[in-house]
Amino acid sequence: MSQENVERLRGAVEALAADTDERDWEATLAGAWVELWDPGIEWDASTHPLPDLAGVYRGKEPTLRWWREWLAAWEAVHVEYELIEAGNRVVGLFRQQMRGHYTGIDVASGSYAMVFTFRSGLIVHAKFYRRQSEALEAVGQSE
């Protein structure tokens, strides 16, 4: 099931990466992403660098609100990523380039990571890490 989790997550990341505007993002969030979330998902963005988004969100609706708020800031998002299978977890190593919705300014996020914990093919927990090495350490791996 672990490789299946990687592929399901890859499908959701690719769907969002292919979107070109807010309407596309909304459709993808409501489809490919929400379908991947357990009803009791815990989205841990407590270490997110944007203070307005830092926190822990529980359930599909609060998690969806987090995504909508984050995406509302951007006109375009380009993501490069690698997914690493780690048992019932998947480590996502990300690098993003965004263009501000209101400013038109390009912003690079640098490297960050997330660890997604799956149960029965659904994400039950996702945790944001500012450093990729921290995420890898959390699952017992190293760079």
Please, what are the domains in the chain? 2-138 (3.10.450.50)
User: DSSP letter string over 118-143?
Assistant: EETTEEEEEEEESSHHHHHHHTT---
Model confidence pLDDT, tens digit, residues 31-43 = 888 899 999 999 9
Q: In what order do the strands lie in the sheet with 56-58?
A: 56-58, 37-44, 122-129, 106-119, 89-100, 74-86
pLDDT in tens, 68-80: 887 777 777 778 8
What is the pTM assigned to this prediction?
A: 0.90
